[in-house]
Amino acid sequence: MVTIDAQSIWGDVVRIREEAPLVHNITNYVVMNSTANALLSLGASPVMAHAEEEVEEMVRIARALVINIGTLSPAWVRAMHRAVREARRLGVPIVLDPVGAGATKYRTDTAQALIAAATPTIIRGNASEINALVAAEARTKGVDSTTSSEAAVEAGMALSRAHGCVVSISGATDYVVEGDRVVRVRNGHPMMPRVTGLGCTATALCGAFAAVNPSALAAATGAMAVMGIAGELAVERSAGPGSLQMHFLDALYNLTRDDIARRLRLEV
């Protein structure tokens, strides 16, 4: 069984900083800048490329592929399918964020079709999105969750078992599920959901960790832990959501072994 603790998470951070893995993102208009900056601050190398004509070629030089369905269009969906199929062929880790699944049939169908086309390494979403991938009648409030992360653990386990992937459910407590194994990450702060795109940022960080750690469970857990710890550090310097976004990037950039060792609240 893979060991997940403060030392192993810090080891992954060091590898990201040393290796600067290229993380290919097909993501949404709202978060491109913030997720690219978060990846850079952590030490990874982001690229945002969604043109059908180049996604397969970009996947071939990337060490992880992040798919985020936040702002869909038919051309982007076609590009996503081409990218995930190429990533699966090459064994490049795939991280899927089913943003707003359950809000509309188009979003839910798109997320499920992408999973069917190439099983993701990690699926990361909020509780409502994870529930919607399992139960067709589940609904979300736009892209926000209408239920607690704990309420989606059973759905996450079912999704993980059905597709052989890791499922990360974000919330006040983050749950990372692989089959019947459930890891709880209790880091973070209630102000974080007030900044748009931090959920999408967590997905992008999952890509960075998956690029350097072959264990999808360890990668997703490390990403969620670092996300939460950086958020806690940022809140201590922030007057509100505006300054939180700035201080969050600084916290990722300046994150230390001691920060993780002192703050990590993990149940494995």
Residue 142, pLDDT score: 47
- Asked whether the beta carbons of 79 and 72 are under 8 A apart, the reply is no
Q: Which two tokens stand for residue 19?
A: 């290796």
- Asked whether the beta carbons of 82 and 59 are under 8 A apart, the reply is no
CATH superfamily of 6-267: Ribokinase (3.40.1190.20)
Residue 144, pLDDT score: 45
pLDDT tens digits along 88-109: 999 999 999 999 999 999 999 9
- Which stretches in the chain have pLDDT values below 50? 137-139, 141-145
Residue 143, pLDDT score: 46
Q: What phi and psi, each to the nearest 5 degrees, are found at residue 97?
A: -115, 105
Residue 145, pLDDT score: 46
Residue 151, pLDDT score: 85
> Which residue, among 26, 72, 71, 30, has the nearest Cα to 52 in the 3D structure?
26
Residue 18, pLDDT score: 98
Can you give the length of the chain in residues?
268
pLDDT tens digits along 125-153: 999 999 999 985 444 544 444 566 888 99
Domain ranges of the chain: 6-267
> Which residue, among 192, 236, 211, 207, has the nearest Cα to 35 in the 3D structure?
207
Q: Which two tokens stand for residue 105?
A: 């049939």
